[in-house]
Structure 1
Amino acid sequence: MSWHVKKFDELSNSTLYEIMKERVSVFVVEQQCAYPEIDGKDYLCYHLFKEENREIMAYLRIIPVGVSSNGAASIGRVLVKQEHRGQQFAQTLLEKGLKFLREELKEKKVQIQGQEYLKEFYSSFGFKPISEVYLEDNIPHIDMELIIDLKITF
């Protein structure tokens, strides 16, 4: 099993297909949410994923400053494939994503639009709410922010 961080252009066709398949499986099918999963931002993002035998087990998208309208770096599309949940992949995934933002992109602030039921999970990494709970695609969400201390390691 290996973890990878790749720019869009570094993804093979088959890896990109597997990533999109898992994103649609989780965010459209499992969560019964019809929305435009392919949003045009992927070209400008980094893609962090755990892969084994061409299977995407966990994934998140790292969105650099300037790609979203919030003016901050962001993490999104965080998922662990259903059959691999409960194995600490989500924690490792977020740790690796934050480490990349801190060490490679030198970011000091990260914002997320997280599903509200994951508020405690994100809070455990230091994220703080910066909005009230709101509905996005009929799912309760909350905006959260993390100020990265460059001295702390994940």
Structure 2
Amino acid sequence: MSREASDRSTPSEHAPGHEGVSPTRLDWRLHAFDQFDVRQLYVVLAARVAVFVVEQDCPYQDLDGLDDLALHLVGWDDDGSVVAYARILPPGTRFEQPSIGRVLTSLDGRRSGLGRELMRRAIEVIGERYPGCPVRISAQCYLERFYCELGFAVDSAPYEEDGIPHVEMQLPASAAGS
């Protein structure tokens, strides 16, 4: 399996002395794959490659054939760059449950609460689109605490995906809202 929720960036909270990007400043949009224009698609895929391949030194194919089935939550900056991104897959695609993956924040967006806001919005989308469903992720082990703070619980032994330790985690349907 590809890195569905391989959160290759650190979506941690604001750190003293670091300004970061305010989540409220972004233009949050939910896109179906065929709603992207060519430039938007290019910018999104370039952001994913920058984080998941280059920054994480992980020479694995990011494109896995699931993007056309997904919803894409994007936090656009006013200059048209991607500051935050998550891919939402429907039930029965990667997991039995709906899932969130390809979670990233740009370097400028880290340590500002942006990761939490991105996940809050992605969970909200799942609650609206798939009421009564839990949310599944495959998280990098070093981000386990972050996701636990959002209500996710580990429910697998650690495993390696693309050379990086991961665990599967699930958010109960009651926490996903509906």
- What secondary structure does 2:60 align onto? coil
**Secondary structure of 1:149's partner?**
helix
1:61 to 87, 105, 112: 87
Tell me the amino acid that sits aligned with residue 37 of structure 2: S
For each residue in 1:96-116, what CA deviation from the matched residue of structure 2 results, as whole angstroms up to 9, or x when unmatched?
Answer: 000010023325211110000
CA deviation vs aligned residue, 1:34-84 (integer Å, no higher than 9, x gap): 11101000000000010022100000000011221x211100000001122
Rounded to whole Å, the distance in 1 between the matches of 2:39 and 2:31 is 14
Consecutive unaligned residues in structure 2, runs of 5 or more = 1-25
Instruction: Please tell me the residue identity of whatever aligns with 2:129.
Output: E
Q: What residue is the counterpart of 1:3 in the other structure?
A: 28
Residue identity matched to 2:63: I
- Give yes or no for contact 2:123–2:176 (8 Å, CA) kept in 1: no
Q: Distance in 2 between matches of 1:124 and 1:150?
A: 12
Match of 2:17 in 1: none
Query: How much identity, in percent, do the aligned residues show?
Result: 36
User: TM-score normalised to the size of structure 2?
Assistant: 0.81
Structure 2 residue 100 is matched with structure 1 residue 78: no
The 8 Å contact of residues 101 and 107 in structure 1, kept in 2 or not, is answered as no
Residue 143 of structure 1 aligns to a residue in which SS? strand
1:26 is matched with 51
> How far off its partner does 1:151 sit?
8.4
Match of 1:137 among 162, 166, 174: 162
Aligned pair count reads: 152
Larger relative contact order (Cα-Cα within 8 Å, sequence gap ≥ 6): 2
Contact 2:126 2:176 (8 Å CA) reproduced: no
Larger mean Cα displacement after TM superposition, 102-111 or 1-10:
102-111
The one-letter code sitting in structure 2 at the alignment partner of 1:65 is P
Alignment of 1:126 with 2:151, yes or no, is yes
Q: Displaced runs of 4+ in structure 1, greater than 4 A? A: 150-153
Q: 1:92 to 1:151 in 2, by over 3 A?
A: closer
- The 3-state SS of whatever aligns with 1:54 is coil
**Which runs of 5 or more residues in structure 1 are unaligned?**
none
Q: Which has the higher strand share?
A: 1
